[in-house]
Amino acid sequence: MLNGEYGPAAQKAMQILVALGDVYDAEKMAEVSNVHMPGSSVVVAGDAGLSFVEEMADKKACFKAFTTLNPAAVDLAKWSEIGFSKEAAEKQFRLTEAYRRMGGICTHTCTPYLIGNVPRTGENVAWGESSAIAFSNSVLGARTNREGGPSALASSITGRTPLYGYHLQENRRGQVHVRVKAKLSDIPDYGALGYHVGMIAKEAVPVFEGIPLDVNLDRLKMLSAALASSGAVALYHIVGITPEASTLQQAFHGGKPSEAIDFGDDELRDAKQKLSKATGSKVDMVCFGCPHASIGELREISEVLHGRKVHSEVRLWICTSTAVKSLADRMGYTEIIEMSGGTIVCDTCPVLAPTKDFAKRFNVSTIATNSAKLAHYAPGQCNLMPFYGNLKRCVEATAKGVWGK
């Protein structure tokens, strides 16, 4: 490939991976048959990224690895109705089409593991999107580094990734011991835990002890997203849940942690307060589905919303994939949500959409959410100040237009 025998696109892709491998002293390449592509939104890729992806497609690049796409910048079907600009939509269509031509599956979701991209435990993959990376390494037990757009694209084309970092067993050893003492009762509690620990762990590997073994996947996806927002955690272990961490000893590879912390009621309260940055009480927008909502979450949202009306000055977005929405359509959840005045927004989310323009145009300045990741990024990426709370509190705010106690 490097010599150009497989065409110019494969040659360029292999040059990228060899350069990356040199930086990290990788001894060889690993084969990968599974990629999740970040940089699938034109807001993230920019004009330069769009040109590069189109150039690779024009050079007849063909994905060797099964590749799903991360969220786009707009809802590909309802962009105009929701209020996104024509310019953003047209650029997004070009980017999506270029990936499709190469063989990318146009999932446009950050929860590909909910709709059919589920790598095996121990499988080497090349995933982008911080929340999905942490979920893939820690819940599924697959092995991935934090891939960026160019390296993931190169892996899709070549079916290879440099063998370094989290692909190597020795780098998957737990480092920070987190003793969870607080009772975690809902999704924002898991987000607060991840937010607090991410700030301390930074790039290290936390090991959680004390998380209930019956924790569901929605809570784990929130934990993964939060850890990768305040910190850069790509791998964590939950004793008894992470496939390679059935005991504390196994999580630490028989060694000792470099640090041990407790997460109690004070830390829980403090993290939630830090995430709720909005002042005053007026709520302009409410958003669920960061990471993209599962069908179980859509069911719960529709149950809590049933019979209620979204306040005339509030926008309610529930972000998910088109695949999950089609199930919600069939189940009648979409109808309930739309009857109440809410919108199921597919393919995108406030962080990866041109939300700053949107907020300015529609005079939106606050957002209520149950997602620690969205609360963390909303001020900088969207110009929106967040209120942070559970589903019921957010739905109350949807109906009343104010953040209640």
Which residues lie near ligand F3S (CB under 6 A)?
71, 110, 131, 225, 290-292, 319, 349, 351-352, 373-374
Nearer to ligand F3S, 41 or 242 (CB): 41
**130-154: buried (b, 16+ CB within 10 Å) or exposed (e) per residue?**
bbbbbbbbbbbbbbbbbbebbbbbb
CB 110 within 8 A of CB 224: no
Min CB(370)–ligand F3S separation in Å: 12
CB-CB neighbours of 382 under 10 Å: 24
Min CB(234)–ligand F3S separation in Å: 14
H or E element at residue 89: helix 86-102
What's at 281, amino acid-wise? S
Nearer to ligand F3S, 66 or 135 (CB): 135
| CA 147-150-155 angle, 5° bins | 70
HEC sequence for 183-252: CCCCHHHHHHHHHHHHHHHCCCCEEEECCCCCCCHHHHHHHHHHHHHHCCCCCCEECCCCCCCCCHHHHC
Min CB(319)–ligand F3S separation in Å: 5
In DSSP terms, 37 is beta-bridged to 69
3-state secondary structure of 177: strand
Min CB(107)–ligand F3S separation in Å: 12
Min CB(272)–ligand F3S separation in Å: 18
Place of tokens 């796409």: 69
Min CB(70)–ligand F3S separation in Å: 6
**How would you class 255 by CB atoms within 10 Å of its CB: exposed for 0-12, middle for 13-18, buried for 19 or more?**
exposed
CB 124 within 8 A of CB 71: no
Min CB(72)–ligand F3S separation in Å: 10
